[in-house]
Amino acid sequence: MKRVLLWSVCGIVFLGALGHILFYEHAKDAKRRELRRELMAIAAKSASSIDAATLARIPLTMDGDKSPEYKAIFDTLLQIKEAYPIVKYVYILTNTNEPGILQFVVDADPLPAIITAKSQRSFPGDKYDARSYPGMLNGFRGPSADRKISMDDWGVTLSGYAPIKDAGGKAVAILCIDMDAGRLYAYLQSVRPIIFLLWALVAAAVIAFMVDLALRKKIVPGGSSQKP
């Protein structure tokens, strides 16, 4: 009777903890997928408002931000931010001759002071190493988004991308949309101890079950066993 009760308790703990783990993991993935879809939709819709011909005339030099073309695109990026409150940063990158290395064309947001004390934003032509961001590079092929939250000097963000195409349909740049993912990150961090605890309960239930099985058999010399 005691053994049946023990197994019942272990089974309840195991199934309950495992069910909660699956629930939390599903909730995390669902929230991340929802935000990624929203970012890709915003990026795709907003990219269509960028005139590729105007973008191509921006000099990729430090004083390129003084050109009328830069100011026109800059104003468009500000309108995108105003239209979508979840957008924290918005900027445009294009390719260089080096694979995986992109360069800024227009940046509507200031750089953090830790990056540079000389300028408030990235200048046209400033390089950006995107080799660790496959979602960003995929943005040249179609709407894309990072799968993981980024933590850097810009803060905690999740980013979406979409191609900016010329009249011939060729992707000449990507529009990058960063949203503040601080609340999502805080949620993920808050449930982590809960998940660890639930896994500990699962492990405890399994160990209790295995110990009980071992105690049911009495090992004797020669490798034989007999029931108590």
Give dist(CA 27, CA 9) in Å, integer.
27
Same domain as 76, residue 165: yes
- Are residue 56 and residue 164 in the same domain, yes or no? yes
| 107 and 49 part of one domain | yes
Whether residue 53 is found in the same domain as residue 99: yes
Indicate the residue among 185, 200, 216 that finishes a domain. Answer: 185
CA 174 to chain centre: 18
pLDDT in tens, 191-220: 555 555 555 655 665 666 666 666 666 544
**Amino acid 17: pLDDT:** 53
Q: Supply the Cα-derived Rg of the chain in whole angstroms.
A: 27
> Are 53 and 163 in a shared domain?
yes
Residues 96 and 193 grouped into a single domain: no
Query: Is 37 within a domain?
Result: no
Residues spanned by the domain of 220: 2-24+188-226
Strands (DSSP E) found in 97-223: 101-107, 127-129, 144-145, 150-152, 155-165, 171-180, 218-219
Please check whether residue 85 lies inside any domain of the structure: yes
CA-based torsion, 179, 183, 187, 190: positive or negative: positive
pTM of the model: 0.68
Question: Residue 89 contacts by C-beta under 8 Å, 6 or more apart in sequence?
Answer: 108, 109, 154, 157, 176, 177, 178
- Say what the pLDDT of residue 42 is: 94
For residue 198, tell me if it sits in a domain.
yes
Tell me, what amino acid is at 223? G
Same-domain status, 48 and 151 = yes
- Give the integer Cα–Cα distance in Å for 68 and 184: 38
Q: Which residue type sits at 41?
A: A
Whether residues 80 and 148 fall in one domain: yes
pLDDT of the residue at 158? 86
**Are 200 and 148 found together in one domain?**
no
Among the listed residues 112, 46, 105, the one whose alpha carbon sits nearest the alpha carbon of residue 81: 46
Rounded average pLDDT per 10-residue block, the chain, 228 residues: 53 54 58 85 94 95 91 94 89 94 88 48 88 93 88 75 95 92 55 55 62 58 49
Secondary structure (3-state) at 49: coil
Q: How many domains are there within the chain?
A: 2
Classify residue 214: in a domain, yes or no: yes
Whichever domain contains 152, its CATH number is 3.30.450.20
Q: How many CB atoms lie within 10 A of CB 27?
A: 13
Q: Are 158 and 184 in contact (CB under 8 A)?
A: yes
